[in-house]
Amino acid sequence: MAQFSPDRIESLLNRMDEAIKRPLPFKGELFTGVDLGTAYIVLAVVDSQGEPIAGSYRFAQVVKDGVLVDFTGAVRILREMKAELEKKLEVELRLAAAAFPPGTGKAVEKVHFYAAQGAGFEVIRMVDEPTAANNVLQIKDGVIVDVGGGTTGIAVVKDGRVVYTADEPTGGTHFSLVLAGALKMSFEEAEEFKKDPRNSKDVLLIVKPVIQKVATIISRHLNGYNVDCVYLVGGTACLEGIERIISQELNIPVWKPKNPLFVTPLGIALSCLGGD
C-alpha cells in the first residue's frame, strides 16, 4: 500500500476535476464508481492504470439518511448519467463498483447493488464509503470521516486496514435546514446559499452547532481508539473552515483535500482494481 501523500492526492483529484469537465485519454478497460449520496449521485470513471478518465455528478434526493428511498428515481438518473458519459467517451461503461454507508447492514448494501445493476452496470465490487475513500487517501493509521448530505461515516484505520466503521444521520441536509430556518428561506434556497463560497463565513457561523454535533459523533465513535489525525472527505466537507471547528472540538489535527467531494467516488472506482 502506498503511503499517504497530500501532493499525490491533490494531483489525483485535480485530474478527476479535469476528467469531469472533459474525458481524458485512457488505456485498457474502464471501471466506474457509483456513489449514491443524499445530495448528489456521482459517477467516477478510471482506466486500468487507475487514472481518472471521466466523471459526472447530479443533484438528486433519492437517498435519505443513508437509505435509498427512491429506487426507481435512482436507476433512472444513473441510466441517464451512464448514457451521457458513454456518448462522450464513445465506449460502453460495463464494469462498476458501488458503495454503501458503513454499518448499515446487508439490506442497504443489496439495494445499492441492485440500483447500479439496474442502470446497466456489471457490479464487480461492493465497498463501504470510508473504505473506498482510503483507496485515494491510502492512510496507514487514523480516522476517515466522510461528511455527506445526510450522514457522517466514520472509519478507523490501523496498519492500513479499516478496523471499525459507523454511520450516523447528520450532514449537509441538516446544515441546509438550519440555514433555511435562520435566514427564513426555502430549503432549496438554503442549499444554493450554502454552496456559494462567498457565503462561507456566514454559513459557518450559523451551522457551527451542527458541525459541533458532527464532532461529537466522531468523538463518540473514537472512544477506545488512539487516533492522531482525522482525514475529512465528502461533499459537506467542502465548506471552508469546517475542518478548523472539528479540530478544535476534538483537539486532534484534521486534514482535508482541496476538493473532498470526489474522494469517495474515485475510491469506489479504484476498488475495481483490487484496492481495499
Per-residue 3-state assignment (H helix, E strand, C coil) for the chain: CCCCCHHHHHHHHHHHHHHHHCCCCCCCCEEEEEEECCCEEEEEEEECCCCEEEEEEEECCCEECCEECCHHHHHHHHHHHHHHHHHHHCCCCCEEEEEECCCCCHHHHHHHHHHHHHCCCEEEEEEEHHHHHHHHHCCCCEEEEEECCCEEEEEEEECCEEEEEEEEECCHHHHHHHHHHHHCCCHHHHHHHHHCHHHHHHHHHHHHHHHHHHHHHHHHHCCCCCCCCEEEECHHHHCCCHHHHHHHHHCCCEECCCCHHHHHHHHHHHHHHCCC
Backbone phi, psi, residue 212, to 5°: -65, -35
The domain spans of the chain are 6-134+261-273, 139-258
Convert 142-157 to b/e letters by CB count within 10 Å (16 or more is b). bbbbbbbbbbbbbbbb
**60 and 41 Cβ atoms separated by less than 8 Å:** yes
pLDDT tens digit at each of 276 positions of the chain: 567 899 999 999 999 999 999 999 998 999 999 999 877 899 999 999 999 999 999 988 787 766 788 999 999 999 999 999 999 999 999 999 999 887 777 888 899 999 999 999 999 999 988 889 999 999 999 999 999 888 888 999 998 888 998 888 888 889 999 999 999 999 989 989 998 989 999 999 999 999 999 999 999 998 888 889 999 999 899 999 999 999 999 999 999 998 898 999 999 999 999 744
Q: Which CATH superfamily is domain 6-134+261-273 in?
A: ATPase, nucleotide binding domain (3.30.420.40)
Whole-structure pTM value: 0.90
Tell me whether the CATH fold assigned to 6-134+261-273 matches the one assigned to 139-258: yes
| Domain 139-258, CATH class in plain words | alpha beta
Number of other residues whose CB lies within 10 A of the CB of residue 195: 17
